[in-house]
Chains A and B, each alone.
Chain A
Amino acid sequence: MNPLRISSYTVSSAVGAGRAAHVRALRAGTTGLDRLSFDTNTLDCWLGEVRDFDVPLTGALADWDCRNNRLAEFALSQDGFLDAVAACRARYGATRIGIFIGTSTSGVQHTELAYRARDAVTGTLPGWFDQRRTQNIFSVAAFVALRLGLSGAALSISTACSSSAKVFAAASRAIAAGVCDAAVVGGVDSLCLTTLYGFNSLQLISADICRPADAARLGISIGEAGGFALLDPLAEGSLALLGYGETSDAFHMSLPEPAGRGAIESMRAALARAHVAPGEVDYINLHGTGTIANDNTESRAVCEVFGNITPCSSTKGWTGHTLGAAGMAEAAISLMAIEQGIMPCSLNTRTKDPAIEAGILLETRVAPVARVLSNSFGFGGSNCSLLFGRLP
């Protein structure tokens, strides 16, 4: 594929609001995870909560008010992203910019609140609950399109934890096929009890902080994040999406295929699309959830494609697992790695699991980074690998 330029990007997570906060935290090794209270959560766990965003939406888009769209609004407002989109809109026209947003649960937290407030006698849900504008999976993409004044092709992609990696692939295809001239891609997933108690039912929530690749890791810390990127083939910046790979495990709904065949093929497909050899990748941002199964399988897959020399790490020790937003959040971190010349360590990893042979970074490395591969894997055996790089 032709490299697709990224003219602007932003991310907000538990680490902070916008790129600068993330660069600072990555350099300093400060996690955004904390033992916080969220809603009425009673589980013993660490959370990656975004600070200071949870205020009601007002004005023309007040009907779309829910935690997830509040997070979208907050994230859109960082790093001059709104201005970048406005300039792009002036260039191409509102109808020629596509909107591709990844989310796993959209505004389901609003439905949780509505069920708590259902009528004691009839069981009906409260009048304020607007399912289409909050819980529906398309709600976040529709909200972003309306907020940005864009009317091109719009859709949400929801493939669990690979959702907002796959938006880069879908947008790249849409631009190549002439569906749109440029695209806003993003990922927004916000904390809710559905995912907390859901992952808890699968015994995947760690009482300890998330420790990717650690010998004594106990599972995931759930986080939330919102992030966006503007893909514009005619942009002047040097950052670009070089390739993408998408595969299916065809194995199990919630366990990775042990040999990591799907992961191997998605990484190889991303490299092949970009005509880049494994040795030309400087750093790999792992999916690295901190579960036994994911980290072992991913390491085997990475070693199969890259050997055990390429530096790699999961950055979920900073952000937690932001689920449907993880692909976008980690795409943003990958772009920061290239811009800043920094390869983040595997934060919270004390002793590397001897079963993990991949080149896990136990200390942050400062060195030029030309190309980064980022992995995102989800339930249903959904795999996506993205390759980012700097163009001349």
Chain B
Amino acid sequence: MNTVFIESVGLAAPGLPSWQEGRATLRGETALVPAPLSPHTPTMLPLNERRRATPTVRLAFRAAEDAMQGTALPAASLATVFASSDADLAIIHRICLALTATPRLISPTDFHNSVHNAAAGYWSIAAGARAASTTISAHSGSFAAGLVEACAQVLVDDCDVLLVAFDLPAPEPLHAKCAMAHPAAAAIVLTRRPTERSMAALTCNSTSATETTLDEAALEQLRLGNPAARALPLIQMLALQRFGSVVLPLGLAANLAVELRAP
């Protein structure tokens, strides 16, 4: 694929609460202390929607808002790609539990929040973003698959795109069936043309090479514990202001080689 430009990054994971605060850790200057993320208030959302926003929506917002800190582009101008393996497993749990009871009473708010694109819907309302928005899943390859779709949107539909990857562990008993250790979210703003804020030029192509692992054991554990955290090798390169390539998992057979160059 042709080149797109990374404008900004957002991050939310235990010990990496934001891009600004996580950079030193990703550069290896401070050790990772995987403290749980504090609750996030999505201040961009109108009060009515904010009241209904689930922890999953709030996590996606946390990384998306963080990425918007690094760009002058208005949120309303961006197309969006949301990438999540499982979106809201807590709601799936509540609904499946309610379906075993008599009478079967599902909360209407739970139901409309259960759609995989709930975070995307809330974001479009918060940002006043009326452009294209898609929400995808590719299990542990969700971030890379979302990156491919986001790059294709930039290149083919000629727009700037906000990519947001997010996943949250399920409550028990579902948790025992989904290997997800902690919540994590990562966001990237991609642009058609370089700007004064561009951090890197990016190209990506599928590869049979094996995925990049992280040297620091605690960071590697973080990477493996959540589909969105599979973005960390790429985000670490940006933290180190280093160019080169990383390989991210992409769905089934192939992986994705992501190459970063000077913008």
List residues of A whose CB falls within 8 A of some B CB.
1, 42, 95, 104, 108, 111-112, 114-116, 118, 123-125, 129-132, 135-138, 141-142, 145-146, 151-160, 166, 169-170, 172-174, 176-179, 193-194, 197-202, 246-254, 261-262, 265, 378-382
Contact = CB atoms under 8 A, between A and B. Distances in A.
Interface stretch (B26-34, B170-178, B182-190, B215-223): B170-178
A125 B96 CA distance: 12
Interface of B: 1-2, 49, 52, 80, 84-87, 92, 95-100, 104-108, 111-118, 120-122, 124-125, 127-139, 142, 145, 148-149, 151-153, 155-157, 172-174, 176-178, 206, 250-254
B130 A249 contact: yes
Contacts of A249: 124, 130
A116 B100 contact: yes
Contacts of B151: 177
30 contacts: A95-B254, A108-B92, A111-B96, A115-B96, A115-B97, A116-B100, A129-B177, A130-B177, A131-B177, A137-B85, A141-B137, A153-B148, A154-B252, A155-B136, A155-B138, A155-B145, A156-B138, A159-B116, A177-B1, A177-B152, A179-B152, A194-B99, A198-B114, A202-B112, A246-B133, A246-B134, A248-B133, A250-B128, A379-B115, A382-B121
Contacts of A131: 174, 177-178
Contacts, number: 225
- Chain B: interface secondary structure? mixed
Contacts of B128: 250
A253 B112 contact: yes
B16 to A, nearest CB: 25
Nearest to A166: B134
Contacts of B49: 253
B87 A151 contact: no
B99 A379 contact: no
A142 B252 contact: yes
A202 B105 CA distance: 11
B149 A173 contact: yes
Given A104-B115, A123-B173, A145-B252, A248 B104 contact: no
B89 to A, nearest CB: 9
A294 to B, nearest CB: 14
B117 A382 contact: yes
Given A142-B252, A248-B129, A379-B115, 18 more contacts: A125-B174, A129-B177, A131-B174, A131-B178, A132-B139, A138-B137, A138-B138, A141-B138, A153-B254, A154-B251, A155-B138, A157-B134, A160-B116, A169-B134, A170-B134, A170-B152, A253-B113, A253-B118
Contacts of A265: 130
Nearest to B170: A131
A1 B144 CA distance: 25
Contact of B178 (A118, A132, A156, A198): A132
A111 B95 CA distance: 10
Contacts of A380: 115, 117-118, 120-122, 124
A151 B117 CA distance: 26
| Residue of B113, B137, B206, B253 ringed by the most chain A CB atoms within 10 A | B137
B117 A193 contact: no
A179 B1 contact: yes
Nearest to B250: A153
B156 A177 contact: yes
A174 B124 CA distance: 24
Contacts of B177: 125, 129-131
B138 A154 contact: yes
A155 B104 contact: no
A155 B133 contact: no
